């Protein structure tokens, strides 16, 4: 799945639109940050990953299916993805970033997506002000 990283998928476009509607100017794909985040809001110190539910194993989500053939292969693949996500998030948080994960299934309704992103970013900003 590495090949689609960096491409502008529909969920990523929807997140970009929501961010712009909220007055943010998202930067794309920072090569030099761990995990090459999909969006970076440098001033708010917020990083946003747009994760596909299937590949990144959104817990309890109906899109998090498991193929019935080659189950060993898939299990290893999924575990590696989840472990990498965890490592990347930890590395970013250690260096002072707020990390938000937006699941693909949450991008389907633009209005809901915008409210979700808005509330999660403002929570980051509150935490940021408190820690100063």
CA dist., res. 59 & res. 33, Å (int): 26
Give the x/- contact pattern for Zn ion in 56-95, rule: CB under 5 A. Answer: --x--x----------------------------------
- Number of chain positions touching Zn ion (CB under 5 A): 5
**Looking at 52-60, 67-75, 88-96, 111-119, which segment touches Zn ion (CB under 5 A)?**
52-60
Instruction: Look up residue 104 and give its two tokens.
Output: 């693909």
Cα gap 129→83, rounded to integer Å: 31
- Establish if 51 lies at the interface with Zn ion (CB under 5 A): no
CB of 63 to Zn ion, least distance (A): 5
CB of 106 to Zn ion, least distance (A): 7
Residue 39 lies near Zn ion (rule: CB under 5 A):
no
Q: Segment near Zn ion (CB under 5 A), from 2-10, 20-28, 49-57, 85-93?
A: 49-57
Phi, psi dihedrals of residue 19, rounded to the nearest 5°: -65, -45
Are 46 and 25 a contacting pair, CB within 8 Å?
Answer: no
Q: Please report whether residue 103 would count as binding Zn ion according to CB under 5 A.
A: yes
Radius of gyration, alpha carbons of the chain: 15
Per CB under 5 A, residues contacting Zn ion are 53, 58, 61, 103, 105
């Amino acid at each position: 799945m590495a090949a689609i990283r960096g491409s502008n998928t529909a969920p990523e476009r929807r997140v970009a639109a929501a961010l712009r509607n909220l007055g943010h100017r998202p930067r794309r794909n920072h090569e030099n940050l761990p995990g090459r985040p999909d969006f970076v809001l440098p001033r708010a110190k917020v990083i946003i990953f747009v994760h596909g539910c299937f590949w990144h194993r959104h817990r309890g989500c109906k899109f998090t299916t498991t193929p019935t053939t080659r189950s060993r292969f898939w299990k290893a693949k999924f575990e590696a993805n989840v472990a990498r996500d965890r490592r990347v998030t930890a590395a970013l948080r250690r260096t002072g970033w707020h990390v938000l994960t937006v699941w693909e299934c949450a991008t389907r309704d633009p209005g809901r997506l915008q409210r979700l992103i808005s509330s999660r970013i403002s929570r980051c900003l509150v935490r940021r002000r408190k820690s100063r």
